[in-house]
Structure 1
Amino acid sequence: MERDSQLKLYATVATRLKEAHRLVRELQVPEGVRKALARKLLVITAAAKHDLPDAARRLDRLMKDLSEGRFPEGD
Structure 2
Amino acid sequence: MEGDNQLKLYAQVADQLKEAHIRVRELQVPEGVRMALSRKLLVVTAAAKHDLTDAATRLDRLMKDLDEGRFPDGNSLDGTP
The TM-score bracket by the shorter chain reads over 0.9
Query: How many equivalent pairs are there?
Result: 75
User: Structure 1 residue 73: deviation in Å?
Assistant: 1.0
For the pair 1:47 / 2:79, whether they are aligned, the reply is no
2:57 aligned partner: 57
**Percent of matched pairs sharing the same residue:** 80
Matches for 1:1-12 after TM superposition, within 5 Å: 1-12=1-12
Q: Which runs of 4+ in 1 moved over 4 A?
A: none
- Structure 1: which 5+ runs fail to align? none
The amino acid of 1:6's aligned partner reads Q
- Structure 2: which 5+ runs fail to align? 76-81
- Give a deviation string over 1:22-75, Cα, whole Å, max 9, x none: 000000000000000000000000000000000000000000000000000113
Equivalents in 2 of 1:73, 1:37: separation in Å? 10
Question: Any idea what SS the aligned residue of 1:71 has?
Answer: coil
Instruction: Give the TM-score of the pair, scaled to structure 1.
Output: 0.99
RMSD over equivalenced CA pairs, Å: 0.4
2:21 aligned partner: 21
Instruction: Give the TM-score of the pair, scaled to structure 2.
Output: 0.92
